[in-house]
Structure 1
Amino acid sequence: MMLMSLLLVLSLERLITKTPNWHIERYAAQYRAFLQDKSLIKFQETDEEREGKKASSTALYFYLLLPALVLGAIEYWLLGAFLTFIEQSLVLFICIGCPVLRGIYKNFLNAADRGDLQACSMYTDQLGHCESQTDSDGSAGAEGKSFGQHLTWLNYQHYAAVMLWFIAFGAPGAVFYSLSRSTTEALCGANHPLRGAAGRMMFALDYIPVRVTAFGMLMMGHFSRALPEWLKHALQFDVPAYDVLTQISSKAEVLTPEEQLLQSDNAAVEPKVLVKLAKRNVIFLLVITAALTLVGSLA
């Protein structure tokens, strides 16, 4: 069932342009607004509330997990196999992908093709990455690399990680990860008291999926060059998931001789290569899912 849902949703996601009503960000924002209106989570911290930060962090974790628990209970107690398949496919379709990210990527490619480096830098900033570090070099190669790294990370967050949490825990897993990611992004831009708690939670949620995704990239890319980098980060607990993925993907990328010649003059070369690598990684994950389904490890 999970394999069928993945194949169906990924096919539809490529063919259909999503409206905001079909993306998790809309419902995540409404859920956060509901929690704030009901004063279930404090989004503003006063001096008197600083000592209660630990309790607020616990509340944050609980309320982010609550929708997944409710969905899991509905699946277990109310839905049969067929209705669960439909529900899981709908939830996965809502959780996976990012229409805004796809639009920014297209605009970046258009700007790179006409050599507008200032526009390339602007579109890089529009990605909204808060874990990443930008390049200080103003060259085309640096701009392309910067955008390519951020794009690789966001592609992971909106596709590979959602897929892996769906494979492991079904629709509740996809909802929990997507809601946690959206909330962390919402807290990231401000000096919010729960920002650190959300960041620690996402580090835990990404620890295994990012290494599985990076392993898929080295399998689909330059294996011998990327494997030492993957082994170096495999059991490290002090390296951000963003750094793990971008460093391994940069080692795994394979450029043709023509792309190597164009890389210094065209900022779009590396992002295109990394996007191709990410797409091959999705296929790799689907193949592994199919194999696990055949041997009976997945339903």
Structure 2
Amino acid sequence: MALFSLLIAIMVERLKLLPAHWQFDVLLAKYQQLFWKDKALDSAGWVAFVVLLPAMTLFLVLLLLDGVFFDVITLLMWMLVSIVCFSHQSLRAAFKKYMLAACRGDVQACYHHAEKLDCSECLDAVDEKDLGQQIGKTVAWVNYRYYGAVALYLICFGPVGAVLYCSVRFYQQYNQQQQLDMPFIDKLLFLFDWLPSRVFSFGFVLSGHFAAGISQWRKQVFNPNNSAKNIVTYTALAAEVMPEKSDAPVCVQPTLALLALSKRNFILLVTVLSVLTIFGLVS
């Protein structure tokens, strides 16, 4: 189920078949707006309940559907949840607009669209000559946060794991954007990212320049307090040979190089999943 659901989700995401209002972050924003108030998120108990409720609800639904109609309904649920969790049209649109702005030399538009890729980082202080490389690192990070990590949780824990990770990710971003003081949400996402970031970043080592990549990967992963973003971005940067910068106002070559590395890494993940499925290690 994991392999088939992942392949269907990738296809739907690439073809942009899922309407924007059915994508996970949009659905969870409606869930937050309809059922909860920001004041309720000040309590640790309420935060835990709000974050866990979508995954717990899905777990109960899958439990009730287990064995129904030869598990066809369960397979459809796997596919539906995978599609919803993997579709991020807003990110693709922001990246496309960034590339178009870079190609026409509109530096201010590049900064504007780049901030939409990763709201947690301020790019105002980044020199425009280094902006292409910085956005390449952001692309590697976004590829992990919105695709790689979700895929790993789907493979290991099924749709419930994917929904739980996406819920924690959403509320960590919501806490940051709304400037709330939600207890333990940052630490919870740190724990959820601790092992997947190390596994996924090792894929960069195997997909790129091994010697440089493994050297940087070791420096990053053996620090237990290191952030997932540092592990992913620095390993990706070391594993890919950066092309020479052009004279364009915003050089896109480093961005394209790290984007290609991210694509190879995800293909590697799907390939490994296929092999594990063939040998019966993953259902």
- TM (norm. structure 2) is 0.91
- Provide structure 1 residue ranges, at least 5 long, that are not aligned to the other structure: 44-52
1:171-250 superposed matches below 5 A: 171-194=159-182, 197-250=184-237
CA–CA separation in structure 1 for the residues paired with 2:123 and 2:199: 25
Aligned to 1:125: 115
Matched residue type, 2:140: T
Aligned to 2:127: 138
CA–CA separation in structure 2 for the residues paired with 1:177 and 1:58: 18
Aligned to 2:13: 13
1:35-74 superposed matches below 5 A: 35-37=35-37, 42-43=40-41, 56-74=43-61
Structure 1 pair 66/180, CA: closer, same or farther in 2 (3 Å)?
same
Deviates more, 1:147-156 or 1:167-176: 147-156
Aligned to 2:151: 163
RMSD value, Cα: 2.1
Offset, 1:24: 0.3
- Number of aligned residue pairs: 280
- Asked whether the equivalents of residues 97 and 113 of structure 2 are also in contact (C-alpha less than 8 Å), the reply is yes
Deviates more, 1:182-191 or 1:154-163: 182-191
CA–CA separation in structure 2 for the residues paired with 1:187 and 1:233: 27
- Provide structure 2 residue ranges, at least 5 long, that are not aligned to the other structure: none
CA–CA separation in structure 1 for the residues paired with 2:185 and 2:140: 21
Deviates more, 1:149-158 or 1:93-102: 149-158
Per-residue CA deviations over 1:131-178 (Å, capped at 9, x if unaligned) read x464734232x1112222222212211111110110011111111111
Aligned to 2:262: 278
Per-residue CA deviations over 1:225-270 (Å, capped at 9, x if unaligned) read 0101111222322211111111111101134xxx425387642111
CA–CA separation in structure 2 for the residues paired with 1:36 and 1:193: 15
Offset, 1:42: 1.7
Deviates more, 1:225-234 or 1:263-272: 263-272
Which of structure 1's runs of 4+ aligned residues deviate more than 4 A? 263-266
Per-residue CA deviations over 1:1-46 (Å, capped at 9, x if unaligned) read 2111111221221123432222001211122124425x8x624xxx
- Between the aligned residues of both structures, percent identity stands at 29
CA–CA separation in structure 1 for the residues paired with 2:51 and 2:247: 42
Aligned to 1:111: 101
Aligned to 1:89: 79
CA–CA separation in structure 1 for the residues paired with 2:222 and 2:46: 29
Offset, 1:120: 1.2
- Asked whether the equivalents of residues 97 and 159 of structure 1 are also in contact (C-alpha less than 8 Å), the reply is no
